[in-house]
Amino acid sequence: MQEHNRGQWGSNLGFLMAAVGSAVGLGNIWGFPYKMGKTGGFAFLIVYLALVLLVGIVVMLGELALGRSTGKSPIEAYGALKAKYKIVGVMAIISPFVILCFYCVLGGMVMRYMLGFLVSIFGADGFSGQGDGFFGYLLYDYKGMILFFIIFLVVNMGIIMGGVQSGIERFTKIAMPALAVCLVIIIVFVAMQPGAKGGYEFMFKPDFSVFSDPDIGFFGVLKTAAGQMFFSLSLGMGAMITYGSYLSKKESLQRNSLIIPIADTVIALMAGMMVMPACAAYGIDFGKGPGLLFASMQGVFLDGMGGTIGNVMGFLFYFLVFIAAITSSISLLEACSATIIDKQIAKGKAPRRKTAAGIFTLCIFILGLPIALDALGSGGALVKAPYELMGLEAGGAGYAMWNDCWLDFYDLIAEGILMPLGALLMSLIFGWVVGPKYIYDECEQSGHPFKFKPYFDVCFKVIVPIIMVVVLYAQITDFF
């Protein structure tokens, strides 16, 4: 009966598309290239891939299995294991909320670029005369930042108010393949530009010199890659638990928890192979930071392709990135809302999906404002930087600069701390208390025998906990 109230996926394809839709988003297209660019290219890539294999797939399986076996959203799902584990579920609700605050600001920026190219197609000047340098201009165009932030929030809210099935499934089936095709076209185009080679060398030529960089080092690469991995795969918090809770017992969890990380990683690699060579070709510093995607793509569309073709491709690209961002942000908002909905069902009340989504959206708007108003820490912002509020020195945290910029600060809370901590607790719970058998049994419900028990045993019990402790250590020492 409960399943009736909450909704269920129409088919495995629908589930998979929505889960891949959740995973593939700004993390892959915007985050991956700029984080790789900041922390050494090849070295980052290797560490990232190792983390996907050793941690990502394992945590993915654990979250999906927990969601499906309990049929509940994060807090109640952990509570079903043991009442005191609810706290892990509470952490899992805080992260999507924190992420949404900056995700929707970035989503708004994507919409601004989309609109810029759209009007340029019709001969207007879509970038306020700034062309390539538009990113620097946009950051200080506070009215524009807020306007597009609001538009993105409203679109996001509208979809969640529509309900699980009609809201999420329909949206994703076409957009993901279309995005992949669009990336391929841009990758091929960029490959033909003079100078692009430097980008491939940066990504694929073995070079670990970043490990001896005093500002970054091995720990810097590890924690950046780990945060990025959780973020990109939508892990370490509620999203995949919630998604698993809507999944039918007939479907194979093992297969799904391989397909989602693989698809996500392929898209991230493609984004890297688009952005890095473009940086090399158009003279943009790999380590530029959060503006990397936007700056390098202006080079491609305005200077490289140019004219109407450039404008059309630019519009298409940002439109698809926007869809990818929306399918991710709805999964974040769904993770928040599902908690409230389950609470209401538990109390015997009719679920009020619309109210839940509306209240969260308002809170996200308020807490997201500093991110839209601080020009990403570029200086001259309308709001005080986190370090000013806390009475600290600017940039005291080395290259990460988490305290200069609200986006980085929110990011630090979510992907830097809460997600690794959530993954640590989860692996300890499943590795040592409940036992991994709980997960294997849930997997076998679909009638497929679980094949990789020894591998997952070691990962749950030892490998994931150790890596998470090291990541958290690296993160916390950064404060001092």
- In the chain, the amino acid numbered 140 is Y
Task: For the CB of residue 21, give the shortest distance to ligand TRP in the complex, in Å.
Answer: 9
**Member of 6, 16, 20, 22 binding ligand TRP (CB under 6 A):** 22
Nearer to ligand TRP (CB atom), residue 176 or residue 381: 176
Task: For the CB of residue 206, give the shortest distance to ligand TRP in the complex, in Å.
Answer: 27
Nearer to ligand TRP (CB atom), residue 28 or residue 339: 28
Total of residues contacting ligand TRP (CB under 6 A): 16
Q: Which residue has the tokens 């929505």?
A: 18
**Member of 65, 157, 284, 332 binding ligand TRP (CB under 6 A):** 332
Task: For the CB of residue 179, give the shortest distance to ligand TRP in the complex, in Å.
Answer: 12
Task: For the CB of residue 128, give the shortest distance to ligand TRP in the complex, in Å.
Answer: 27
Helix 307-346, helix 74-81: angle, nearest 10: 50
Nearer to ligand TRP (CB atom), residue 23 or residue 55: 23
Choices 41-49, 191-199, 325-333, 369-377; region in contact with ligand TRP by CB under 6 A: 325-333
Nearer to ligand TRP (CB atom), residue 237 or residue 421: 237
Query: What distance lies between CA 291 and its chain's CA centroid?
Result: 16
Contact status: 27 vs ligand TRP (CB under 6 A):
yes
Task: For the CB of residue 232, give the shortest distance to ligand TRP in the complex, in Å.
Answer: 4
Nearer to ligand TRP (CB atom), residue 235 or residue 305: 235
Nearer to ligand TRP (CB atom), residue 261 or residue 277: 261
In the chain, the N- to C-terminal Cα span, in Å, equals: 52
Question: Which residues 86-105 are close enough to bind ligand TRP by CB under 6 A?
Answer: 96, 99
Q: Are 411 and 217 in contact (CB under 8 A)?
A: no
Question: Which residues 427-446 are close enough to bind ligand TRP by CB under 6 A?
Answer: none
Is 99 in a helix, a strand, or coil? helix
Compute CA distances 323 → 317, 329, 373, 417, 468, whole Å.
Answer: 10, 10, 24, 28, 32
Rounded CA-CA distance 91/98 in Å is 11
Query: What distance lies between CA 277 and its chain's CA centroid?
Result: 23
Say which residues have a Cβ less than 8 Å from residue 25's Cβ, sequence separation at least 6.
103, 232, 324, 325, 327, 328, 329
Rounded CA-CA distance 186/192 in Å is 10
At 115, phi and psi to the nearest 5? -65, -40
**Member of 120, 156, 328, 446 binding ligand TRP (CB under 6 A):** 328
Rounded CA-CA distance 408/404 in Å is 8
Task: For the CB of residue 360, give the shortest distance to ligand TRP in the complex, in Å.
Answer: 14
Contact status: 421 vs ligand TRP (CB under 6 A):
no
Choices 18-26, 290-298, 341-349, 469-477; region in contact with ligand TRP by CB under 6 A: 18-26
Question: Which residues 194-253 are close enough to bind ligand TRP by CB under 6 A?
Answer: 231-232, 234, 237, 239
Q: Please provide the DSSP assignment of 380-446 as one string.
A: S-SS--HHHHHT--TTTTGGG-TTT-HHHHHHIIIIIIIHHHHHHHHHHIIIIIS-THHHHHHHHTT
Rounded CA-CA distance 65/86 in Å is 17
Task: Take residue 58 and report the two structure tokens written for it.
Answer: 């394992």
Choices 77-85, 292-300, 314-322, 326-334; region in contact with ligand TRP by CB under 6 A: 326-334
Contact status: 33 vs ligand TRP (CB under 6 A):
no
- In the chain, the amino acid numbered 266 is V
Q: Which residues bind ligand TRP (CB under 6 A)?
A: 22-23, 25-28, 96, 99, 231-232, 234, 237, 239, 328, 331-332
